[in-house]
Amino acid sequence: MTKYVDLLRRNRTIFRLNIMEFLGYFAAWFTSVALFTLFSNLNASVFMVSTLAALHFFPVVFLSPINGVIIDKIKPKKLLISLIIIELIATFFMIFIDSYELLFLIFILLFIKMAAASIHFQTEMTIIAKKLNEDDLKLANEIQSIIWSLAYILGMALSGIFVTFYGVTNAIIVDVLLFCIILIISFKLDLNDVKIDELEENILNSIKYGLIYIKQNKKVLHLIFLHSIIGLSAYEALVALLAEYKYKEILSISLAIGLINAIRAVGLTIGQLILSKYANKQSLFYIFLFQSFGIFLWSFLQENFYISMIGIILTGFFTTTLWSFTFTTLQQATDKKYLGRVLSYNDSIFMSIATTTSFFIGLLFEKGLNLQSITFLIGIGFFISAFYWKWIANRYL
């Protein structure tokens, strides 16, 4: 913990970016629980709920190639401020949607919000990679994972309670207010030392050269695929279906969603703190295996809401370490000239897997496959990934 605090003390820009990240993630979970609750209250179909989950990732899939060029061409401070304003406006208009007939507007607004959010995240990750040396970059990515997890714990736990007692609209208003604070902090960022590459080629050529760079660097390509597999941990649709079809007799849907995700986030936070010093090229194989075993256990325990919390904690315990280690390895393997584009393409594939996971969870459930079996299939994905990492490490690292 001391090494994290030391980095934040030494670098005020990283500190401010982390505050912005925490508030942004916290706000996002408030809106997420609010929207899933709204869809449930309005008796939206399973397909609509799965689509809502997928739309948290869908914009990145199509926009990431363009995002990378934008990040590499525009000054980061100006870009961040513009993106925050877009996110704020899109969230604000969600306040006025309260009927089934208007739910399609949620899809449009969420697409806009998540498109801006994806560029926002990629910009921050590019800034961090350009400002820090390899050791500090590893710490910064671990801090980012911890912040995400803490925001997940507090956001999901408090949002479930908040939505239950104060309603969907007030939860979205909280999101808007938090983005106002983020906007204020963004004006205080000092990013003058973060240089952008003067790309003379047009957008299409920039995209093409970025793809050529990845194609010619097989190590980068395989690291993108490996990191993206962690998108299988996009359990939002699964959690929403569990809350509605298995646990609604025990707790309200919003409370069940909030509690499940908050308990999972406890594992996410503790796991990063404990496993950080043990994560290396050799141990990552076993961390992938343990991740799969945790998911297998969760699938077996799902029938009992309270006992299943053991499995839920384990599904999160190894995830943040997998994310931060594979992401750091990708950043370090990438030429800084192509960093924005590579991270954007990486996000595109990551979110493609997350989006596909959300859609297939809903589709398989509608086709009659039970939620336990669906969860087990996700675990198999991580089991296979362990051997994929072993092959990458032996061949390229």
**Among 146-160, 205-219, 228-242, 258-272, whose mean pLDDT is lowest?**
146-160
- pLDDT category at 72 given cuts 50, 70, 90 is confident
Separation in Å, CA 182 to CA 22, 42, 77, 185, 194: 10, 32, 13, 5, 20
- pLDDT category at 89 given cuts 50, 70, 90 is very high
Q: How far apart are CA 55 and CA 42, in angstroms?
A: 18
The sign of the CA dihedral 369, 370, 371, 376 is: negative
- pLDDT category at 26 given cuts 50, 70, 90 is confident
Q: What is the pLDDT of residues 122-171, one digit of tens each?
A: 888 888 888 888 888 888 888 888 887 788 777 767 887 888 888 889 98
Residue type, 77: K
Task: List, in order, residues 6 or more apart from 281 with CB less than 8 Å away.
Answer: 393, 397
**pLDDT, greater one: 73 or 112:** 112
- Please give the structure tokens belonging to residue 210: 């970025």
**pLDDT, greater one: 5 or 227:** 227
C-alpha dihedral, 142 to 143 to 144 to 145, nearest 10°: 50
* CATH numbers and ranges of domains, the chain: 2-396 (1.20.1250.20)
Q: How far apart are CA 305 and CA 260, in angstroms?
A: 9
- Please give the structure tokens belonging to residue 58: 């869908």
The pLDDT, as a whole number, for residue 197 is 62
- The closest of 67, 69, 101, 54 to 238, measured between CA atoms, is 54
Work out the percent of the chain whose per-residue pLDDT is above 90. Answer: 35
Q: Is 75 helix (H, G, I), strand (E, B) or coil?
A: coil
Q: Is 306 helix (H, G, I), strand (E, B) or coil?
A: coil
Contact, 145 vs 273, CB < 8 A?
no
- pLDDT category at 384 given cuts 50, 70, 90 is very high
- What are φ and ψ of residue 250, in 5° steps? -95, -45
Q: How far apart are CA 82 and CA 167, in angstroms?
A: 30
Mean pLDDT of the chain: 87
**pLDDT, greater one: 37 or 19:** 19
Q: Is the pLDDT of residue 370 over 80?
A: yes
- The closest of 208, 232, 170 to 376, measured between CA atoms, is 232
Q: How far apart are CA 166 and CA 4, in angstroms?
A: 36
**pLDDT, greater one: 47 or 200:** 47
The pLDDT, as a whole number, for residue 200 is 54
The pLDDT, as a whole number, for residue 201 is 58
DSSP letter string, 332-374: HHS-GGGHHHHHHHHHHHHHHHHHHHHHHHHHHHHTT--HHHH
Task: Kindly report the pTM of this predicted structure.
Answer: 0.77
Task: List, in order, residues 6 or more apart from 27 with CB less than 8 Å away.
Answer: 91, 155, 174, 175, 178, 179, 182
Q: How far apart are CA 239 and CA 140, in angstroms?
A: 29
Q: Is 250 helix (H, G, I), strand (E, B) or coil?
A: coil
The stretch 290-317 carries a mean pLDDT of: 93
Long-range contacts of 100-106 (CB under 8 A, 24+ apart): 100/42, 100/43, 100/44, 103/38, 103/39, 103/42, 103/44, 103/48, 106/35, 106/38, 106/52
